[in-house]
Amino acid sequence: MLSPAEQRVTETIGRLMEFWGFKRHMGRLWALLYLSERPLAAKEIRDRLDLSVGTVSMTLAELQRWGVVKGVHQPGVRAELFEAELSLWKMVSRVFRERELFEVTEAVASLEAALADLGREASSERTSLQRSRIEALLEVARLGKGLLEVLVSTGRVDASELARLLLGNASSAPSSRG
Lowest mean pLDDT among 4-18, 91-105, 130-144, 150-164: 150-164
pLDDT band at 177 (very low <50, low <70, confident <90, very high): very low
The answer on 168 and 94 residing in a single domain is yes
pLDDT value at residue 173: 44
Into how many domains does the chain fold?
Answer: 2
Average pLDDT over residues 90-96: 84
End residue of a domain, out of 84, 103, 119: 84
* Residue 178 in this model has a pLDDT that exceeds 80: no
pTM over 0.75: no
Residue-wise pLDDT for 63-85, tens only, equals 999 899 999 988 888 889 999 99
pLDDT at 112: 96
H or E stretch covering 83: strand 81-84
Supply the range of the domain harboring residue 34.
4-84
Task: Assess whether 102 and 157 both reside in one domain.
Answer: yes
Domain match, 78 and 57 both: yes
**Which residues 6+ apart lie within 8 Å of 138 measured at CB?**
108, 111, 112, 115
Residue 128 lies in a domain: yes
Domain holding 10: CATH number? Answer: 1.10.10.10
